[in-house]
Amino acid sequence: MEQMDQRICQLSFEKDVNSLLLASDLLITDYSSIIFEYCLTERPMIFYAYDYAEFSDLGRGFYYDYESYVPGPVAYSSLEVVEIIKTNSFEQNIIKEFSDNNYFYMDGNATGRLLQLLKH
């Protein structure tokens, strides 16, 4: 097996994913819900959908249009993943929009809302 570049770590089987999210500069994922946690870091993501046709037609499908919903570029081959990284083809603003659309109450007032709820 060819040795990977020392800057790349294959940690698919790591048990504590939260530590990995904080330590990583970039997330490469497929259809995982990990994007919801990772978007809070406001770091780039690549969506590696090498089996997109099979997954969408024969798999469980999607709740939303995958390609327009995910907060980052979609790659259908490993060559596309490499090209996205090499050209730094990320739009940071869509990560923020994704967070805003999925986390309505990230406004720093959670304690106040909890106290109001407990008062009633």
Q: Does residue 4 lie in a domain region?
A: no
Distance CA 28, CA 101 (A): 21
Task: Please report which confidence band the pLDDT of residue 1 belongs to, taking 50, 70 and 90 as the band edges.
Answer: very low
Q: Does residue 9 lie in a domain region?
A: no
Q: Does residue 39 lie in a domain region?
A: yes
- What contacts 73, CB < 8 A, 6 or more positions away? 46, 47, 84, 89, 90
Q: Does residue 1 lie in a domain region?
A: no
Q: What are phi and psi of 2, to 5 degrees?
A: -70, 135
Q: Does residue 3 lie in a domain region?
A: no
Q: What is the pLDDT of residues 34-88, one digit of tens each?
A: 999 999 999 999 999 998 888 777 767 677 888 899 999 999 999 999 999 999 9
Q: Which domain holds residue 36?
A: 17-119
Structural domain total, the chain: 1
Provide the CATH number for the domain around residue 105: 3.40.50.12580
pTM: 0.79
